[in-house]
Amino acid sequence: MKRAIFKMGQHCLISSQNGDNKYDVEFTPDWIADEQQWKLPVQASKKSFKEDGTTVVVGELNPAISKRFGEDEKSFKAQLERMVATNYAFIIDKGFDVKINGDTVKPRPTHLVFDKKAGGTKRPAIQPFIFKTKVDGVEVFLAVGFTRPIPSPDEEFLGGFPQPRGLNTQLLHFSGRPPR
């Protein structure tokens, strides 16, 4: 967590409440700068929340982060919400509550594509690889697959995103993967 906070800013206050227990943990610039210091003082919090939970506030933002917020705050917030909603969908769906600037993040679970027949086309059928095992009493389930259908022959990739055929790709330049 120290490195993640350091990448965002130079000051952080984490406040947590569980019933009558309320605590604050403060990451100061001096603490962040000291590579040998990993102990954090936990203090009783004077704040009360309406409901139990944890709040993380990062301040003294690094210039790149500050610039990112300044460019388009709504876009940044939407991108952050989408990332949290996707990456933490499982635990959010189980009841974990995440709020960004007071707005509750709704889960966006990943769905794997199952296409047993491929619709009578020459495209290969899509099915995820499923792996199940039990190791030392721990059940392991792993599913690896696609989250969207394989592009049809009528699609081509342009800058990593499917585009309809017929788009004049000669006039466009993208860094990264070239058009096929």
Distances (CA, A) of 92 to 52, 95, 98, 104, 179: 16, 5, 7, 10, 38
Q: pLDDT (tens digit, 9 = 90+) per residue, 79-105?
A: 888 888 988 888 888 888 888 878 899
d(CA 146, CA 43): 47
SS3 140: strand
E strands present in 62-128? 99-100, 103-104
| 173 pLDDT more than 80 | no
CB 13 within 8 Å of CB 57: yes
- pLDDT for residue 164 is more than 50: no
What pTM value is reported for the model? Answer: 0.51
Which whole number is the average pLDDT over 42-52?
A: 85
Q: What is the pLDDT of residue 163?
A: 47
How far are the Cα atoms of 71, 79, 148, 170 from residue 174, in angstroms, in the given order? 22, 22, 23, 11
C-alpha 169/C-alpha 158 separation (Å) is 8
* 179 has a pLDDT exceeding 80: no
Question: For residue 150, what pLDDT band results from cuts at 50, 70 and 90?
Answer: low
pLDDT the model gives residue 23: 92
Concatenated DSSP letters of 94-110: TT---EETTEEPPP---
Find the angle CA(32)-CA(38)-CA(40) to the nearest 5 degrees.
85
Percent with pLDDT over 70 in the chain: 72
Residue 13, pLDDT above cutoff 80: yes
Lowest mean pLDDT among 35-39, 72-76, 166-170: 166-170
Left if phi > 0, otherwise alpha if psi is -120 to 50, otherwise beta: which for 19? Answer: left
pLDDT at 124: 64
Whether 73 shows a pLDDT value over 50: the answer reads yes
